[in-house]
Amino acid sequence: MNYRAWLCGAVSACALGFAAHAETITIATVNNGDMIRMQKLTDDFTKDHPDIQLEWVTLEENVLRQRVTTDIATKGGQYDVMTIGNYEVPIWGKQGWLMALDDLPAGYDRADLLPAIAGGLSVEGKLYAVPFYGESAMLMYRTDLAEKAGIKMSDQPTWTDIKAAAKAMTDKDNEVYGICLRGKAGWGENMAFLTAMSNSYGARWFDMDWKPQFDSPEWKATLTDYLDMMKTYGPPGASSNGFNENLALFQQGKCGMWIDATVAASFVTNAKDSTVADSVGFAQFPNKDGVDNHGNWLWSWNLAIPASTKKADAAKAFVAWATSRHYTELVAASEGWAASPPGTRTSLYENPEYQKAAPFAKMTLDAINSVDTKKPSVQEVPYTGGQFVSIPEFQGIGTAVGQLFSAALAGNMSADQALQAAQALTSREMTKAGYIK
**Closer residue to other proteins in complex, CB, 244/417:** 244
Is residue 36 involved in binding other proteins (CB under 8 A)?
yes
Nearer to other proteins by C-beta: 189 or 225?
A: 189
- Does position 273 bind other proteins by CB under 8 A? yes
154 is a contact residue toward other proteins (CB under 8 A): no
Which of 149-157, 217-225, 236-244, 420-428 is the region at the interface with other proteins (rule: CB under 8 A)?
Answer: 236-244
| Residue 188 near other proteins by CB under 8 A | yes
- Contact in structure between 210 and 436 (CB atoms under 8 Å): yes
Contact pick of 4, 21, 272, 437 for other proteins (by CB under 8 A): 272
Backbone angles phi, psi at 377, to 5 degrees: -120, 160
**Interaction of residue 97 with other proteins, rule CB under 8 A:** no
Among 58, 143, 399, 427, binds other proteins (CB under 8 A): 58
Separation in Å, CA 78 to CA 10, 46, 67: 34, 21, 10
> Helices then strands (H, E): number in the chain?
19, 11
Residue 249 vs 332, nearer CB to other proteins: 249
Contact status, residue 109 vs residue 235, Cβ threshold 8 Å = no
Q: Least separation, in Å, of the C-beta of 26 and other proteins? A: 5
CB of 162 to other proteins, least distance (A): 23
193 binds other proteins (CB under 8 A): no
* Of 57-65, 117-125, 151-159, 406-414: span binding other proteins (CB under 8 A): 57-65
User: Which span (71-79, 280-288, 378-386, 429-437) binds other proteins, by CB under 8 A?
Assistant: 71-79
Asked if residue 231 binds other proteins (CB under 8 A), the reply is no
248 in contact with other proteins (CB under 8 A): yes
Identify the residue among 39, 154, 240, 417 touching other proteins (CB under 8 A): 39
Q: Give 437's DSSP letter.
A: -
Q: Does 70 bind other proteins (CB under 8 A)?
A: yes
Asked if 242 interacts with other proteins (CB under 8 A), we say yes
Task: Catalogue the long-range contacts made by 409-415 (C-beta closer than 8 Å, 24 or more residues apart).
Answer: 409/183, 409/190, 409/226, 409/227, 409/230, 409/231, 409/238, 409/239, 410/183, 410/239, 411/231, 415/220, 415/223, 415/224, 415/227
Backbone angles phi, psi at 128, to 5 degrees: -110, -5
Least distance in Å: CB of 60 to other proteins? 4
> In angstroms, what is the minimal distance from the CB of 326 to other proteins?
23
**CB 342 within 8 Å of CB 262:** yes
Positive/negative CA dihedral, 173, 175, 178, 181: positive
The nearest distance, CB 421 to other proteins, in angstroms, is 25
> x/- binding map, residues 330-359, to other proteins, per CB under 8 A?
------------------------------
Who's near 134: CB < 8 A, 6+ residues apart? Answer: 114, 117, 298, 299, 300, 301, 342, 343, 344, 368
Q: Is there binding between residue 363 and other proteins (CB under 8 A)?
A: no
Identify the residue among 41, 57, 91, 433 touching other proteins (CB under 8 A).
57
Binding mask 298-317 for other proteins (x = CB under 8 A): --------------------
Residue/partner pairs of 393-399 with CB below 8 Å, 24 or more apart: 393/429, 393/430, 393/433, 393/435, 394/87, 394/187, 395/187, 396/429, 397/187, 397/425, 397/426, 397/429, 397/430, 398/186, 398/187, 398/188, 398/191, 398/195, 399/185, 399/186, 399/187, 399/191
Q: Which one-letter DSSP state was computed for residue 36?
A: H
Nearer to other proteins, 136 or 287 (CB): 136
Q: Does 409 bind other proteins (CB under 8 A)?
A: no
Dist CA 432 CA 437 (whole Å): 9
- Shortest distance in whole angstroms from residue 79 CB to other proteins: 7
Which phi and psi angles does 2 have, rounded to 5°?
-60, -40
Q: How far is the CB of 329 from other proteins (least distance, A)?
A: 23
Closest-CA residue to 297 (of 215, 380, 370): 370
CB of 419 to other proteins, least distance (A): 26
With beta carbons less than 8 A apart as the criterion, state whether 285 and 308 touch. Answer: no
Chain residues in the site for other proteins (CB under 8 A) = 26, 28, 30-33, 36, 39-40, 55-63, 66-67, 70, 74-79, 188-189, 242-244, 247-248, 251-252, 254, 261, 263, 267, 272-275
